[in-house]
Amino acid sequence: MLNLNQLFQNINIDVKKTTTIEELDQIKIKYLGKKGILTNYIKNLKNFSLKDKKKYSVIINHSKKEVINNINKHSKYLMTIKLEKRIKQEKIDISLPGRRFENGCLHPITQTINYIKNFFFKLGFQSINGPEIEDEYHNFDALNIPKNHPARDCHDTFWFDTNRLLRTQTSNMQIRIMKEEKPPMRFIFPGKVYRNDYDITHTPMFHQIEGLIVDKNITFSNLKWIIYNFLYDFFGKTVSIKFRPSYFPFTVPSAEVDIIKKDTLQSLEILGCGMVHPNVLKNVNIDWNIYSACAFGIGIERMTMLRYEICDIRSFFENDIRFLNQFKYN
């Protein structure tokens, strides 16, 4: 018993003397390892009488638990000391600026949207966002798009079920806003739209800005004036603008607008427009005998590609920093 008491005292003294986790591990092995001193004491109990075996096994197990607790406590203490020492050594002034400090930039698509919005804000337009998951009525029916129109097919449109879909144009907001507001009104509707197409000039998701004016005595001349001024502001006076007759179910008459660059003389389609169809006005309970309306739809990716001479639309969505950094100071 005297030897056991002396042994436990020695263990506690050795534990307190350790100054590193490594030294503490060596002490643990020395006394509690498979060939440790305390382990050998336990093994020698087999040579004792049954009475002494019970007596000393209880004493040894109780003292062994105390030793383990002391080792664990000292281990936490040493870890705390080590951590504090490391913190002092690695201390930095977090208020100092980074050595490699580089600002990011807005995506070119976002820059284009902001530019277009700012132009139309000056003309008194308001900007409204709309839902990207739409129903068949607002996306097709109310816009005078017939049931047999190809745009309703699954190979062109992402359908969730027989009624819900990812909107194919921001024109859906024409219906929603005309149902809620009373003329006169002047709105633009920026946002994402979805069509089942993918190549160097098309992606399944892209951006549009829809424009809508509803007022008395609105004519195609008002629409042309807005588009001319917008395109000259966006591209500069170095382009020629051409209106071509076209067809959209929700406008009549309808036109597609091309720009012709003077250096290449190449004609490029950039937007569609027209006078809102009387059937569309009827669907939202606006008297088409009193009010008229014009609308236009701008493809943001197409505008951005033409402005910055980008040849592949997929570059916008590849997150290549080398590509995005080119637009940092635009």
By three-state DSSP, how is residue 272 classified?
strand
pLDDT on residue 327: 82
End-to-end CA, the chain: 86
DSSP secondary structure of 107-143: -HHHHHHHHHHHHHHHTT-EE----SEEEHHHHTGGG
Reported pTM: 0.66
The residue among 123 and 88 whose pLDDT is bigger is: 123
Q: How confident is the model at residue 254 (pLDDT cuts 50, 70, 90)?
A: very high
Give whichever of 62-71, 90-99, 269-278 has the largest mean pLDDT: 269-278
Cα separation, 152 vs 168, in Å, equals 9
Q: Which tokens hold the place of 263? A: 């250096």
Q: How far apart are CA 177 and CA 282, in angstroms?
A: 14
Residue 116 scores a pLDDT above 60: yes
Asked whether 229 and 120 are in contact (CB, 8 A), the reply is no
User: Residue 154 — pLDDT band, cuts 50, 70, 90?
Assistant: confident
For residue 2 the two structure tokens come to 């005297």
Q: For 213, phi and psi rounded to 5 degrees?
A: -130, 130
Closest listed residue to residue 130, CA positions, set 186, 176, 195: 176
pLDDT the model gives residue 302 = 87
39-52: pLDDT as tens digits: 777 777 777 777 77
Q: Which of 187, 171, 194, 330 is nearest to 248 (CA)?
A: 171
The alpha-helical segments, DSSP class H, found in 45-196 are 50-89, 108-122, 136-139, 172-180
| CA distance linking residue 97 with residue 93, whole number of Å | 9
Which CATH number does 108-327 carry?
3.30.930.10
Q: Give per-residue pLDDT as tens, 279-296.
A: 999 999 999 999 999 999
